[in-house]
């Protein structure tokens, strides 16, 4: 059950991203204020959340286990999933892969993981 607790949210987030990527037409986000409705922001937020969930799983949900190596591993896994997501889109009608989306995924993941690393340092300091 511990594996499901740690990795279940990761799989759910990945499945949601996969499902959205498989749609020819995405729900409009034009009702959101700029920059929240911008494509690059949506990618950054989605993959930032995914990166945090992967970090949680890799660190066994313990701030004391958040290390640089775990941060790097979470970032690499997230970016590789972003690349696979763009490859998946190449098979979806009316969609195409975009390297700028991978860049947004990587930046969103890096920002989220940087904040998590800083938080883990603050929480562990005396």
pLDDT at residue 34, rounded to an integer: 63
Under the banding of pLDDT at 50, 70 and 90, the label for residue 32 is: low
The whole-number average pLDDT for the span 53-72 is 95
Residue 114 token pair = 């940087």
**What are the sequence ranges of the domains in the chain?**
2-6+40-124
pTM: 0.91
Scanning the chain, the segments in alpha helix (DSSP H) are 2-21, 39-58, 68-89, 99-124
pLDDT value for 64: 87
Q: What is the pLDDT of residue 30?
A: 60
80 pLDDT more than 90: yes
């Amino acid at each position: 059950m511990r594996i499901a607790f740690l990795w279940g949210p990761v799989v759910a987030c990945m499945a949601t991203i996969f499902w959205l990527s498989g749609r020819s037409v995405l729900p409009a986000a034009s009702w959101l204020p700029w920059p929240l409705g911008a494509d690059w922001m949506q990618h950054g937020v989605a993959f930032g959340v995914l990166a945090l969930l992967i970090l949680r799983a890799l660190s066994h949900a313990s701030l004391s286990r958040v290390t640089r190596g775990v941060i790097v591993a979470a970032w690499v896994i997230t970016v590789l999933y972003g690349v696979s997501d763009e490859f998946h889109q190449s098979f979806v009608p009316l969609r195409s892969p975009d390297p700028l989306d991978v860049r947004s995924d990587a930046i969103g993941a890096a920002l989220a993981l940087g904040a998590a690393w800083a938080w883990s340092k603050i929480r562990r300091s005396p």
